[in-house]
Amino acid sequence: MSKGDPNVSTEGSESMSGPDASSGLSRRSFLLHTGGAASAAALLTVPVAESVAATAPNQAATPPAQVLGPGAIAATLLVNGKPQKVMMEPRDTLATVLRDKLGLTGTKIGCDRGGCGACTVWVAGEPTLSCLMLALDVAGLPGREPQAITTVEGLGKGVAMHPLQTAFVEKDALQCGYCTSGMLMSCAALYERAKAEGKLATISDGDVRAAIAGNLCRCGAYPHIVDATLSAAKGGAK
């Protein structure tokens, strides 16, 4: 995106919700301004991307393009083990789709730009910032399976809480609770990985801190979060 890009409006920034000092662009307005085709090309993988790329100017004519967006399209999200059809725009982030379309408000948005970790969920078991992930990138589309998303609501099994959830309550690993879902997803990923490798007993203080290095807690509950994770690991290792 260059300064001269006609698709990019910098004046618009003055009146955006938070006046933007530098480029005048939020990630989302970039996607918006550059239009559905370009964003889809940038963000989708095969098979759709190929056909979209083919529509770009100066390219040889190819079979008719399948363009997604900019309007809402139906796609499938596999959340907490349940496949769900959702209408989403290509610019919608996973965080907003989870919260606004699926009502899974356990996932929080603290900054909406990758700075705080409040929105951490698992994508295929890996902790991922859902505010930096486009929902379409993990959704199922014709010819592509959805990736498995796990949110805090799906961390436990049925009504039983995950050992980390129990430990967070016991050790008081939270204050306001707004970072808690993200913290849990980061800590539980560490726990599950160690468990799978049979290494629960070796999780150290430093491991936990590293696991939550991208999760901010403004209330400062970190010491109890570390305690809780270590105590759950100890309990789970028995």
Partner 1 sequence: MSQIEVPVGIVGVEVHSEQREVPDGTPPAWRENASLKQVGKPVPRIDGNEKVSGRARYTSDVVRPGMLHGKVLRSPHPHARIHRIDVSEALKMPGVKAALALPHLLGIADDGSGKTTQVQSVRYYGQPLAAVAAQTVEQAVAALSKIKVDYDVLPFVVDPTEARQPAAPKVFAQPVIARGSAGGGGSKDKLNQVGNVRGPKRSVPRGREVEKQATQVTQALLAGPQGVRATYKTQVQTHSALETHGVVAEWSRAGDELTVWASTQGIFSVRDELAEYLGIEQSKVRVITDYCGGGFGAKFGAGNYGVLAALLAKEAKAPVRLMLDRREEHLAVGNRPGSEQTVALAASTDGKLTAIEVKGFGFGGAGAGAGFAGPALSMYDCPAVYVEEFDVFTHSGPLAAFRAPGHPQGAFALEQAMDELAERLHLDPVALRDKNDTHPARREQRKRAATAFGWQNRTATGQGPRTGKLGEVRRGSGMAQGCWYHLVNVDSRAEVRIHRDGSVEVLTGVQDIGSGIRTPLAQVVAEELQIPIAKVKVTIGDTRLPPGPGSGGSVTTASITPAAREAAYAAKQALLKELQAVLGLDKVPELTGGAVVGLKAGKPTPPLPFDKACARMRRTEVLGSAVRELDYGATANGKRGNFLAQLGGVQFAEVEVSTLTGVVRVLRIVASHDCGRPVNPLLVENQIHGGIIQGLSYALFEERRLDPKTGRILNGNLEQYKIAGALDVPKIEVLLLEELRGRSSTDASGIGEPATVPTAAAIANAVYNAIGVRIRELPITPAKVLAALASAGK
**Which residues contact ligand FES (rule: CB under 6 A)?**
109-112, 114-119, 129, 131, 174-180, 217-219, 221
Task: Find the binder of partner 1 among 35, 84, 222, 236 (CB under 8 A).
Answer: 222
**CA 154 to chain centroid:** 15
Q: What sign does the dihedral 42-151-27-13 (CA atoms) show?
A: positive
Binding partner at 74 among partner 1, ligand FES, none, C-beta below 5 to 8 Å by kind: none
Closest distance between partner 1 and the C-beta of residue 122, in Å?
14
For the bound state, the minimum distance from the C-beta of residue 77 to partner 1, rounded and expressed in Å, comes to 17
* CA 156/CA 178 separation, integer angstroms: 19
Cα angle 102, 104, 110; round to 5: 120
Q: Report the candidate in 167, 170, 154 with the shortest Cα–Cα distance to residue 237.
A: 167
Residue 118 CB, nearest approach to ligand FES (Å): 5
Q: How far is the CB of 53 from partner 1 (least distance, A)?
A: 25
Find out whether 119 and 130 touch, Cβ atoms under 8 Å: yes
Measured distance CA(98)–CA(102) in Å, rounded: 5
DSSP reduced 3-state for 110: coil
Residues 229, 30: Cα–Cα separation, whole Å: 39
- Rounded Cα distance between 78 and 113, Å, is 23
Name residues contacting partner 1, limited to 53-92 (CB under 8 A).
91
Residue 29 or 147: the one with the smaller Cβ distance to partner 1 is: 29
Q: Which residue, 21 or 46, is less far from partner 1 as judged by CB?
A: 21
The nearer residue to ligand FES, 174 or 232, going by C-beta atoms, is: 174
Stretch of 52-60, 136-144, 152-160, 195-203 lying at the interface with partner 1 (CB under 8 A): 152-160
Angle at 212 between CA 158 and CA 232, to 5 degrees: 50
For residues 51 and 133, which CB has a smaller minimum distance to partner 1 in the complex?
133
**Hey, what amino acid is at 60?**
A
Q: Is 52 in the site for partner 1 (CB under 8 A)?
A: no
When binding is defined by CB under 8 A, the residue of 129, 221, 230, 232 that contacts partner 1 is 221
Least distance in angstroms from the C-beta of 33 to partner 1: 11
- Give every CB contact of residue 100 below 8 A, 6+ residues apart in sequence: none
Nearer to partner 1, 51 or 152 (CB): 152
Euclidean distance between CA atoms 189 and 193, whole angstroms: 6
Which residues here bind partner 1, judged by CB under 8 A? Answer: 11-12, 14-21, 28-29, 32, 91, 99, 103-116, 118, 151-153, 156, 161, 165, 168-170, 172, 174-181, 184, 208-210, 212-226
